[in-house]
Structure 1
């Protein structure tokens, strides 16, 4: 059943159509991912779907009675509302009952002897029973807790932008709408919370319309894709991986067509050079066709961005942290941190929200001083800091946001030297970043959020840095730009330190990790994010096995009167040797659990010594296999014991 339909929809942006004659449907059981370049119209499509904007032509049809839940990029929450009120702000009877009950409780807290307040709480308690409000409130509180919002009574006006977005996400989830529309839901979430949301949406029973740059998230949640670009919307069946396969097959067909066109143009050109004996209408037509073939060029895709620049030469010494500590309001974020950034480092910083990842980047950038320890920066270091707030971009938007794009980039460099030695102008570099010349004199403040972030990335790279600090670079950048950035980092002649919640980006760009736990601890992890996920899984299994080994067997319950029945086969008791084996296994499992983190630390310490890394990796893998076998055997013997 079609839940949402676009029927020949057009939406204009300025003088050009952003969406032109677009038609598609979203079925009641479909989970649809929306992709495309920044400025192509993804967020506009979502606003049309929710009715936040009307189409300039055509119709957007929603099945009568269907409820739509929305998460916008910049959600609008009622001023003065508490977090819980904002989450249960729907129009349904359960949501209204929860809000009335919370207000009555607040009144009773202020006036405990007020008989009317007591009566109101009693009456509304019965109403909550009748409409299922208790379940709604419990679900709201549980969802808020899972999203890291621990104070449901906090006023939304006091929250950060990221916290407000998490409140809006909780509201959209708790409403359980027929169609859930999410615009960049993974922004401002840590990786653990993203994985939780991913699992929730995989089991979501309603329809889903989703814009996200997180390719793992997109691939694991969606079963349909919409590609927005050039005013059109193309529909693909399957996940993001399926979409990529279909695009690859489509590119092969287009390449074959282009080869055929080139061959035909070559033959026509040869005919022209031989010359025609008579200028008949037939030969004139062939001349026109030859010129048309030679002049024709295949259209470039909307995401064909080119990132290229030369980094300043970097010396041996980069950045050294020795015993660095930092905290806020007496609470430590990290302490005793000693780390040396190498010339070719590809370091990722991970950890829960508020653990100090951005703070550590600020220290590396020299914007913030540590509470203890020292930070030594090499004399040749040139830092390019792509921060979350885009502070250099915010300055360009001050006083009405009237600074033009071309002026903004030319403040850094009029000309840019590329990796092949060529020199191009700042205007040409803007074109490589998908800003056409007709847009170069556009005020920065009129760009979309994604376009502003792409422009800010260009400005950072124009400074020819040799140390790149990237704070959540995947927020607001489209997938084509991320792919180009990943390719650029592959050959970047300098160090890169990245804070990101995007698991795909981390797997693609980093070689090892520092995990900040938020309580002062920092753990170094060899490998990318997937390697860390495997370590977490192994450690969780080991913890469970250890806890089970320490848990005494429950005392036997008194047996009920036995009825005559055919006795089943009795479990064989442990032999003397098996009892000894069980005790030995417990000791061996404990020793293996202690050895694992030691091996991981040794791997990190000797990361540049190839032979040592191979030997340690082999030992770690063998230890993991033996531990798994020992845990399985222990479980078998423990059950019989």
Structure 2
């Protein structure tokens, strides 16, 4: 167990949290909730021992291991991927690292007898440390996370690849507590879903911050909420947290009302003027004074988004056979679509397939190699980009907003000043003259979002809006888009966000192929779960569902298939076991491991197909025998 005892932390003049207590037990899965700027990342750093609290302490047993993944990955630029993930001082990590270095040396000089002898010695040490399973597990995790270039230097990797390496490194290190600060940022849908399932069976405890509410709900069993310097602890996942928080706030309001009624009665008693200066009366006066000083946390700061938009005509954006190639990679090939008023479009697909490129072409920031992008005359685009706008830290918050406008006109004709808008975005008047450099990363993103909306767009482009925005801001942004009269087009990996706001998807499949799906993300998954499964299921879908019930007996060929299918399943299962053993024995030999991973996937697919066919034949056989 890790104990948090009476810790406090300030940043400049701002108190982040004060005198908070909590405990993290074995196998806890804790989600940390709070509006941006409340100190979530600072709290995680204090727990991880990266930062010191102003007061209080973190207590845990000697040898308690904490692994921490920050939003900004702290990786060693000159190490290879395989060296990076084996970084650590545990005995197992040191032996695996030495083994990997010996392999590298022998690859360079395969005839060097001293290198050969060294490798044999290290293989024995790997046996003693029982490190082969961890070695194979590391490479499996990397493959699942989409990192296959094990010999690449870290500085050669993209931001998304670096994130995956950092996650893999943390997952294979032996740890009692795994701390994750926005682990789903820069990961595509498939990878997020894999990570979600992996963490559900993780052997240690987990403390995480994430904007992905599906992820949060499915992984956690406790919630810590940072709110106005206090830490509230809830048992249960995110769904239960929402219910219990509403109950807590209702109870606080009830307690405040009871307190007021009691105080009112006490004051009335004093005003009636009991003349005796008794000890009892003096105590009552003191109690009234104490009651006057008591404060209740019932004043809630709620984020509100009010924005207007310019009139949008019938012509919005027409894409006609557009194509785009970068280097040797075709991102978009002959894609056509007409965007109309009221569209709510999500853009999904693996990282690096061209999603942001499409947004940039529609915003006329880059041109297609061929085809045409035609923008309607009344279109006014507001573009919230994925990369941080270069916010001038020497500007004050109010100055940054007033660069756009002093006031904004809402859809219902109201005029709202810049100061009022900042208040609605949880920047109180006292903070508005602070410098931008004093803001947290999430607060800067919220401020940038306000600036985009102040342009009063009628077509809103959102590129990964869920990165670095807290769950409260996202919920309000979702509500805002429901009443937004214009067009919304968003690139997002956040499944909940997509389900809330879009009714159409542009699906990037790679190699330039982009398809259109009508529906939200969950509906898309139901009908297009995984391409390989769709292909395997296609022959079955062509048969009427009733055929299993109406067919009288197995055909000759089906009977022969039934007699052999169980043996085939057994053989496939045996081969899977052999492959897993071969992967473990191959260690870090990339030339051997990669083909084995490929074969493993192929065998798993065949096994799944055979199992489905076995069930189908079983139903046919049972139906025939029961009908005799």
Alignment TM-score, normalising by the size of structure 1: 0.80
**Aligned residue number for residue 588 of structure 2:** none
8 Å CA contact retained: 2:554, 2:621: no
- Rounded Cα–Cα distance in structure 2 between residues aligned with 1:640 and 1:249: 53
After superposition, the Cα gap between the structure-2 partners of 1:236 and 1:278, relative to the gap in structure 1 and judged at 3 Å, is closer
Task: Name which of 223, 240, 252 aligns with 2:221.
Answer: 223
| Per-residue deviation, residues 104-150 of structure 1 (Å, max 9, x unmatched) | 22222222332222222222222222212322222121111111112
How far has the Cα of 1:261 moved from its partner?
A: 8.0
- Rounded Cα–Cα distance in structure 2 between residues aligned with 1:277 and 1:131: 82
How far has the Cα of 1:575 moved from its partner?
A: 12
**Aligned residue number for residue 71 of structure 2:** 73
How far has the Cα of 1:327 moved from its partner?
A: 2.2
8 Å CA contact retained: 2:309, 2:410: no
**Aligned residue number for residue 418 of structure 1:** 410
Is residue 578 of structure 1 aligned with residue 577 of structure 2?
A: no
Q: Secondary structure at the match of 1:461?
A: helix
- Rounded Cα–Cα distance in structure 2 between residues aligned with 1:575 and 1:13: 73
Equivalent positions of 1:247-326 (< 5 A) are 247-256=245-254, 299-302=298-301, 304-326=302-324
Is residue 458 of structure 1 aligned with residue 450 of structure 2?
A: yes
Structure 1: state its 5+ residue gaps.
551-573, 587-628
After superposition, the Cα gap between the structure-2 partners of 1:124 and 1:535, relative to the gap in structure 1 and judged at 3 Å, is same
**Aligned residue number for residue 465 of structure 2:** 473
8 Å CA contact retained: 1:41, 1:229: no
Q: Secondary structure at the match of 1:349?
A: strand
Of residues 196-205 and 244-253 in structure 1, the stretch that sits farther from structure 2 once superposed is 244-253
**Aligned residue number for residue 239 of structure 2:** 241
- Rounded Cα–Cα distance in structure 1 between residues aligned with 2:462 and 2:341: 16
- Rounded Cα–Cα distance in structure 1 between residues aligned with 2:397 and 2:113: 65
How far has the Cα of 1:230 moved from its partner?
A: 1.1
Is residue 529 of structure 1 aligned with residue 528 of structure 2?
A: no
How far has the Cα of 1:526 moved from its partner?
A: 1.6
- Rounded Cα–Cα distance in structure 1 between residues aligned with 2:427 and 2:104: 54
After superposition, the Cα gap between the structure-2 partners of 1:249 and 1:582, relative to the gap in structure 1 and judged at 3 Å, is farther
- Rounded Cα–Cα distance in structure 1 between residues aligned with 2:508 and 2:554: 42
Equivalent positions of 1:188-199 (< 5 A) are 188-199=186-197
**Aligned residue number for residue 15 of structure 2:** 17
Task: Name which of 496, 508, 531 aligns with 1:516.
Answer: 508
How far has the Cα of 1:33 moved from its partner?
A: 0.6
Structure 2: state its 5+ residue gaps.
278-283, 543-548, 562-611
- Rounded Cα–Cα distance in structure 2 between residues aligned with 1:328 and 1:129: 47
- Rounded Cα–Cα distance in structure 2 between residues aligned with 1:440 and 1:329: 45
8 Å CA contact retained: 2:176, 2:204: yes
Q: Secondary structure at the match of 2:357?
A: helix
Is residue 506 of structure 1 aligned with residue 504 of structure 2?
A: no
How far has the Cα of 1:30 moved from its partner?
A: 0.9
After superposition, the Cα gap between the structure-2 partners of 1:421 and 1:576, relative to the gap in structure 1 and judged at 3 Å, is closer
After superposition, the Cα gap between the structure-2 partners of 1:473 and 1:138, relative to the gap in structure 1 and judged at 3 Å, is same
After superposition, the Cα gap between the structure-2 partners of 1:229 and 1:456, relative to the gap in structure 1 and judged at 3 Å, is same
- Rounded Cα–Cα distance in structure 2 between residues aligned with 1:547 and 1:54: 61
8 Å CA contact retained: 2:345, 2:505: yes
Q: Secondary structure at the match of 1:514?
A: strand
Task: Name which of 95, 115, 121 aligns with 1:97.
Answer: 95
Of residues 479-488 and 88-97 in structure 1, the stretch that sits farther from structure 2 once superposed is 88-97
How far has the Cα of 1:226 moved from its partner?
A: 0.3
8 Å CA contact retained: 1:324, 1:370: yes
Equivalent positions of 1:322-361 (< 5 A) are 322-361=320-359
**Aligned residue number for residue 637 of structure 1:** 620
- Rounded Cα–Cα distance in structure 2 between residues aligned with 1:575 and 1:533: 31
Equivalent positions of 1:556-595 (< 5 A) are 577-579=552-554
- Rounded Cα–Cα distance in structure 2 between residues aligned with 1:264 and 1:489: 45
After superposition, the Cα gap between the structure-2 partners of 1:220 and 1:121, relative to the gap in structure 1 and judged at 3 Å, is same
After superposition, the Cα gap between the structure-2 partners of 1:472 and 1:261, relative to the gap in structure 1 and judged at 3 Å, is same
Q: Secondary structure at the match of 2:510?
A: coil
How far has the Cα of 1:343 moved from its partner?
A: 1.0
8 Å CA contact retained: 1:545, 1:631: no
**Aligned residue number for residue 606 of structure 2:** none
- Rounded Cα–Cα distance in structure 2 between residues aligned with 1:254 and 1:189: 39
- Rounded Cα–Cα distance in structure 1 between residues aligned with 2:276 and 2:326: 83
After superposition, the Cα gap between the structure-2 partners of 1:258 and 1:322, relative to the gap in structure 1 and judged at 3 Å, is farther
After superposition, the Cα gap between the structure-2 partners of 1:411 and 1:117, relative to the gap in structure 1 and judged at 3 Å, is same
8 Å CA contact retained: 1:582, 1:637: no
Task: Name which of 103, 106, 109 aligns with 2:104.
Answer: 106
**Aligned residue number for residue 132 of structure 2:** 134
Q: Secondary structure at the match of 2:77?
A: coil
| Per-residue deviation, residues 268-317 of structure 1 (Å, max 9, x unmatched) | 99x9xxxx9999999xx99xx9xx99xx9974335x11111101111110
Kindly tell me the number of residue pairs found equivalent between the two proteins.
Answer: 554
Alignment TM-score, normalising by the size of structure 2: 0.81
After superposition, the Cα gap between the structure-2 partners of 1:635 and 1:359, relative to the gap in structure 1 and judged at 3 Å, is farther
8 Å CA contact retained: 2:34, 2:225: yes
- Rounded Cα–Cα distance in structure 2 between residues aligned with 1:579 and 1:154: 55
Q: Secondary structure at the match of 1:200?
A: helix
Task: Name which of 3, 18, 36 aligns with 1:38.
Answer: 36
How far has the Cα of 1:335 moved from its partner?
A: 1.1
Of residues 431-440 and 218-227 in structure 1, the stretch that sits farther from structure 2 once superposed is 431-440
Q: Secondary structure at the match of 1:332?
A: strand
8 Å CA contact retained: 1:95, 1:136: no
8 Å CA contact retained: 1:32, 1:224: yes
**Aligned residue number for residue 483 of structure 1:** 475
- Rounded Cα–Cα distance in structure 1 between residues aligned with 2:52 and 2:265: 51
How far has the Cα of 1:536 moved from its partner?
A: 2.7
After superposition, the Cα gap between the structure-2 partners of 1:111 and 1:277, relative to the gap in structure 1 and judged at 3 Å, is closer
Equivalent positions of 1:42-61 (< 5 A) are 42-61=40-59
How far has the Cα of 1:260 moved from its partner?
A: 6.6
Is residue 86 of structure 1 aligned with residue 84 of structure 2?
A: yes
Equivalent positions of 1:143-158 (< 5 A) are 143-158=141-156
8 Å CA contact retained: 2:7, 2:53: yes
Q: Secondary structure at the match of 1:578?
A: coil
